[in-house]
A and B are shown apart, each in its own frame.
Chain A
Amino acid sequence: MFTVKDYRDALAEGYLLASKCRRCGAVQLPPRPICPRCGSGDLESLKAPKRGRVAAYTVIHVPPSRFKGEEPYAVAIVELLEGVRVSGRMLDVSEADLRVGLEVEADVIKLGEEPLLCFRPLKRP
C-alpha cells in the first residue's frame, strides 16, 4: 500500500511516484492506496513523466507564513498524462510568460530539509 512517505522519498530521489491500477489501468499521481476509479487495492508503482503542460496557475502575492518573503511566487497545476495532474511551484518564468498550455518540465529542489516539486518552462533546442 502506497503511503505519503513513498511519494516524498521518491521526490527526494528526484522522480514522481504514481500508482497504476492492475485491474483498470487508471494512473494516480501522487500514488493512492485504493484505485478511485474501480476500487481495487491491487496497484503497482509507476514513474510519472516529467514533462507536461500547465492546466491552471496563479501567482501568490499573499503567502502563508511558511513561505513569507518568497512572494510573489507562481504555483501551477500541471497535466503530465491525460487527466493526471499535480500541483507544483513554477520557477524561471515571468508572470507575463505564464499561461495555460505552457510546456514545462518537473524538477525537485530542497526547501530546507523538504523536497519541493517544481516546474520550469521546457527549453526548446
Chain B
Amino acid sequence: MGLQRGVAIIGAGMTRFHHKIHADKTGRDLFVEAALEAMASVDNGIELRDIEALFIGNFSSDSFEHQGHVAALMADWLGLTPRAATRIEAACGSSGAALNIGVMAIASGLYDVVMVGGVEKMRTLTTEEVTDVLAMASDEVYEAAVGFTFPGLYAAMATAHFHRYGSTWEQLCAVSIKNHHNGSLNPKAQFQEEVIDIARRLGERRGMTFKDEMEFLRSPLNPVVAYPLRLFDCCPISDGAAAVIMASEEVARRFTDTPIYVRGIGQASDTMALHDREDLTSIRATRLAAQQAYRMAGLGPEDIDVADVHDCFTIAEVVATEDLGFFPKGEGGKAAEEGRTSLEGDKPINPDGGLKAKGHPVGATGAAMAYEMFKQLRGEADKRQVRDAEVGLIHNVGASGATVVVQIYGR
C-alpha cells in the first residue's frame, strides 16, 4: 500500500539537546523554542493559522515533570488552539510514531499542513530516578522485576551478538568514537567533543594520560554500566525538543521550492520482553518496518545515502545497520570499525552524532532525526554534511525493540 497522496516536510527546528543548559526551562518552553524554529525555517514563510493539527511524541512528562496531557498544553502555549492536538507515546519511539501519524493524517486528505514534534524534559530527576522511569518501557512484571534495566537489555543483546557472530566490544567503541566525532560538528549536539579530547580533559584532572581513545575507553574513567556496555556505549540523559512541519504535496510548493518528500513509511511492534523475541541478536520490528518503507519507496538499502539510526547504545547501532540491510548480519561491527559508517564512508550513519553524542531526550528523538534528514537532503548540514545526499532514512526504536518506526525521505 502506498500513500493516497504525497507528503513533504517543509520546515524543521530543534533545541540543542543538553543535560545542563535547559535547567531553567520546562518541557513547554523547549517545545515552543523548537516549534518556532521550525516555523522560521519555512522558506516562504508560514503562519500559525496554517497549521491544522499537532501531533506530539512524549514518553513520560508525567513522571519527569508531573505534567500529563502535553499535546493540548503545547497547542495552548503555541497559540494553536482550537486545533486538534494529540500525544503519541511509544517510549523512545514516541515522536517517530507521531511522524507516521502525521504522514497518515495528511495522506488521508483530512489536513494539508500539520506540525509533528517531540519533547522530553528528563533532567528534573536524578540518574537513578531516570533509570527507573526508562525501565517502565520494558516489561515490568517479567523483566524489570528480576533486575533488568534498559542498558541491561541492550547489554544482553550484545552478549548474544558477540557469541553468535564474534563481534567485539572494540567494534562498539568505533561507533562511539565516530558518533562523538560527528557530534563535534553539530551545534545542536549535547556533546561536541571528540572522545580523545574528552580523554585528555578528564585525564588531566586526575593526572592520567592516555595514548589513544581505546586506552581511555578501557580505563576506570569509562565505568561499566551493564556489562559489556560502559558509559561511552550509552546515550546520555537529555532535555530537548524537535519539530517538523509537514504538508501535502499539492500545497508544499507554496511554502518552499525545496520540500523533502516522504517516500516511504513503516512501523512494526514486537513482544515487550526481549526474552520472547525469536532472535536476540536482531530486532525483528526493524526488519519489518524497513521492508514496508522500502517497498513503499520502491527503494532498497543500497539506495540510502545517509541514515539516522537509533543508537541508544552502541550495540543498537550495529544491530540496526544490519537489520536495515546496510550490512550483512553479523558484520555491522566490522563495518563501523572499518569506517564505512563515518561521514566519508560508503554508508554514513548518524551524521548528527546520533543519540550517543547529540543526546536523547527520548520523546524528541524521532522528530530530531527527521530534522537532521531535512537538513542533510537540502544540503544545509554544514560541517557534518554528507556529500550528494539525496535519499535519507530514519529509524526510531521504542525501548528494546517492541516499537520501531522507519521513514525514508527524498528530494
Q: Chain A: residues with CB nearer than 8 A to chain B? A: 4, 7, 30, 36, 55-68, 70, 72-73, 75-77, 83, 85-89, 95, 99-101, 114, 116-118
- 8 Å CB contact of A56 from B132, B149, B160: B160
State the CA gap A85–B145 with chains docked (Å): 16
Please pick, from A68, A87, A101, the residue contacting B142 in the complex, using a CB distance under 8 A: A87
Q: B108 on the interface (CB 8 Å rule)?
A: no
- A67, A77, A100: the one contacting B275 at CB < 8 Å is A77
Number of A-B contacts (CB under 8 A): 106
Could you list 18 examples of A-B contacts with CB < 8 Å?
A55-B280, A56-B156, A57-B156, A58-B152, A58-B226, A58-B228, A60-B149, A61-B223, A63-B131, A65-B131, A65-B132, A75-B148, A77-B275, A77-B280, A86-B275, A100-B163, A116-B145, A117-B146
Q: Are the C-beta atoms of B127 and A62 separated by less than 8 Å?
A: yes
Contacts of A95 in B (CB 8 A): 227
Closest Cβ of chain B: how far from A9's Cβ, in Å? Answer: 13
- Beta-carbon contact of B143 and A62 below 8 Å: no
Q: Are A86 and B147 in contact (CB under 8 A)?
A: no
| Cβ–Cβ < 8 Å partners of B160 in chain A | 55-56, 77, 100
B135 within 8 A of partner (CB): yes
The number of residues on chain B lying at the interface, defined by a beta carbon within 8 Å of a beta carbon of chain A, is 38
B251 at the interface (CB under 8 A from A): no
Q: B residues within 8 A CB of A72?
A: 224, 227
**Once the chains bind, are A64 and B149 in contact (CB under 8 Å)?**
yes
Residue of B131, B135, B226, B229 with most chain A CB atoms under a 10 A cut-off: B226
Q: Which of B15-45 contact A (CB under 8 A)?
A: none
Q: Given A62-B226, A65-B128, A77-B156, A85–B146 Cβ distance below 8 Å? A: no
A64 contacts B163, C-beta separation under 8 Å:
no
Identify 4 new A-B residue pairs, CB closer than 8 A, beyond the known A64-B144, A66-B132: A30-B142, A68-B128, A77-B156, A77-B274
**From DSSP, what is the main secondary structure of chain B's interface residues?**
helix
Bound CA span A7–B139, Å? 14
Query: Residues of B with Cβ closer than 8 Å to A?
Result: 127-129, 131-132, 135, 141-149, 151-153, 155-157, 159-160, 163, 223-229, 271, 273-276, 278, 280
Contact A59/B275 with A65-B132, A87-B143 known, Cβ cut-off 8 Å: no
User: Which of B129, B141, B146, B278 touches A75 (beta carbons < 8 Å)?
Assistant: B146
Per the bound structure, the CA–CA distance linking A66 and B148 in Å amounts to 11
Q: A101's closest neighbor in chain B, by CB?
A: B163
Are A59 and B156 within 8 A (Cβ)?
Answer: no
**Interchain CB contact under 8 A, A87 and B159:** no
The residue in A57, A61, A116, A117 that gathers the most chain B C-beta atoms within 10 A of its C-beta is A61
Residues of A with C-beta under 8 A to B143 = 87
> Do the beta carbons of B152 and A75 come within 8 Å of each other?
yes
Per CB-CB distance, the 7 closest pairs between chain A and chain B, nearest first, are: A58-B155, A56-B156, A100-B163, A59-B227, A56-B160, A85-B275, A77-B275
Residues in A whose Cβ lies below 8 Å from that of B146:
75, 87-89, 116-118
Q: With A and B bound together, what is the CA distance between A7 and B134 in angstroms?
A: 25
Least distance between A118 CB and chain B CB atoms (Å): 8
With A59-B226, A86-B275, A87-B275 as known contacts, state yes or no: A67 contacts B156, CB within 8 Å: no
Assembly CA distance A56 to B143 (angstroms) = 13
- Whether B152 lies near A60 (C-beta < 8 A) is yes
Counting chain A CB atoms within 10 Å of each CB, which of B127, B145, B153, B160 scores highest? B145
